[in-house]
Amino acid sequence: MIEVNNISHQFAIGKKGKERIIPVLHSIDMRVEQGEVVAIVGRSGSGKSTLLNLISGYIRPTSGEIRIGGQTVTKLSEGEWADFRLAFFGFMFQSFQLIPSMTAFENVELPLVLKGVGLEQRKKRVIELLDRVGLSECAGHYPGELSGGQQQRVSVARALVLNPPIVLADEPTGSLDSENERQLLALIGELNREQGTTFLIITHDDQVAAVAHRTVMLQDGRLVQPQRNVTAEPFAPGAGGVIPLVRS
């Protein structure tokens, strides 16, 4: 589903003509199958966010190729990337990135508006999603009127509203308390089992890495041998049992 082929990336910083080159990623090869939940770990500055930004097309690699769903995305134009993102990706961030002047309902609705979905269908889908994350009562609230955990749930609903095959998450539990973290991990597990949603999750959190199917580690911009998670009880955190994984 996601193939990262020999990707290297460097940033150039400083004034034109006097740039300093910062190599960040070196010859990354990675393959993620549909329905996998993969944790990306590594020390601060190892290149995790850069890798996710390359996969989501927000930056272009210095060299190498990325294929998603059989399509070579590194060749897409900016306009094509915008459509591709709407069709393929949901995004979850540590900082939620909600629009403060929009209600919870409007924030979740936004991707549907961008996709040109009609009003009635939008309403139905947003209500469904807010209900799924337990926030039906808060549809009319602005982000500033919600707790951190509630804001994260709004951002999760927004990430999922278009039913994306892939969710890219950058420290999604980073600002959550343990109960909200448990609920988010349970939801990720449900979606993965029910819909085969693929998750790529950058994390420093052992709880997240423990429920992923496997963990890949970046070290100084290089991928360390991928590790298959053999000890985890995927998506049953605290539930005391192993729920079988459905993987295609």
Interface residue list for ligand ATP (CB under 6 A): 11, 13, 22, 24, 42, 44-50
* Short-list 25, 33, 27, 78, CA closest to 52: 25
Residue among 11 and 113 whose Cβ is closer to ligand ATP: 11
Residue 15: CB minimum distance to ligand ATP, A: 14
Nearer to ligand ATP, 48 or 122 (CB): 48
Closest CB to ligand ATP among 42 and 165? 42
Q: How many CA atoms are closer than 13 Å to the CA of 126, on its beta-carbon side?
A: 24
Report the nearest approach of ligand ATP to the CB of residue 43 (Å): 7
Q: Which is nearer to ligand ATP, 109 or 181 (CB)?
A: 181
Closest separation in Å from C-beta 4 to ligand ATP: 14
Shortest gap between Cβ of 243 and ligand ATP (angstroms)? 30
Q: Which residue has the tokens 């936004």?
A: 110
State in angstroms the smallest separation of the CB of 205 from ligand ATP: 12
- Cα distance between residue 126 and residue 148, in whole Å: 20
The one-letter code for the residue type at 4 is V
The smaller minimum CB distance to ligand ATP, of residues 10 and 136, is found at 10
Q: What is the CA radius of gyration of the chain?
A: 18
C-beta closer to ligand ATP: residue 89 or 235: 89
Cβ atoms within 10 Å, residue 205: 18
Q: How far is CA 152 from CA 10, 16, 130, in A?
A: 32, 40, 12
Residue 179: CB minimum distance to ligand ATP, A: 24
Question: In the bound complex, what is the minimum distance in angstroms from residue 140's beta carbon to ligand ATP?
Answer: 34
Identity of the residue, 56 or 192, whose beta carbon is nearer to ligand ATP in the bound complex:
56
